[in-house]
Amino acid sequence: MRGIWPVTACRFILLVLVTVLLPACESAYYGAMEKVGVHKRDILAERIETARDAQVDAKDQFRSALEQFLATVSVDGGELQKKYETLNSAFEDSRESAETVRQRIEAVESVAEALFDEWQDELALYSDGSLKRDSERKMRQTRSRYRQMLTAMHSAEEKMAPVLETFQDQVLYLKHNLNARAIAAIKTEFGSLQNEVRVLITRMESSIKEAEAFIDTLSE
């Protein structure tokens, strides 16, 4: 018990520090950027572009992984260990791409939250009622478009998990059963994996379009 408590306590303290300090660091970063003429709106646009690019890369990676999967299991014969290494490499690359997408979406959410909070607070500073109402209307429109884009991003992101799980199952099965029957068993599951990847790519393409449309609204 003595050995467990310090580790648990340290983890708890670390979590508290991250929770408290991270928002402060983000706020300091935004403040520093504004001093050199880079506003939250600009940072948001840049991060959305980065998230979009990450989704494009992930889409290409998942499509490539599916092609490698098909090419590997369709060829009879060959060294089974080599087949496993090829599929495992494709799986690891796909998992890394998925993690990059997740991180990019989190970065978008962080600056968007700060932007809309600031916008909401600054509405109280208006003395002209007409200008205030117009700014508030634009804020609601921008937030609505942002939420639509974010929903599409999360929809694509969430679909990556079951695809990765299916892919991982096939790779692990081959690893634990390096024989011809394992290849045959994996072949029978290919149709399911193929359908899942197709749905994922469709969602990603939709998310990419939403991101591009929202970026256009920020430049209006």
Q: What is the pLDDT of residue 206?
A: 96
Q: Do 83 and 174 form a contact (C-beta atoms < 8 A)?
A: yes
State pTM to two decimals.
Answer: 0.81
Q: Do 205 and 62 form a contact (C-beta atoms < 8 A)?
A: no
Reported as a single tens digit per residue, the pLDDT across 59-105 is 999 999 999 888 877 766 567 788 888 889 999 999 999 999 999 99
Which runs of E-coded beta strand occur in 1-43?
Answer: none
Reported as a single tens digit per residue, the pLDDT across 100-152 is 999 999 999 999 999 999 999 999 999 999 999 999 999 999 999 999 999 99
Q: Domain ranges in the chain? A: 39-218
Q: Chain centroid to CA 123: how far?
A: 32
In whole angstroms, what is the distance from residue 204 CA to residue 160 CA?
Answer: 10
The angle at the Cα of 198, spanning 196 to 200, to the nearest 5 degrees, equals 70
Whether 204 has a pLDDT exceeding 90, the answer reads yes
Q: Do 163 and 197 form a contact (C-beta atoms < 8 A)?
A: yes
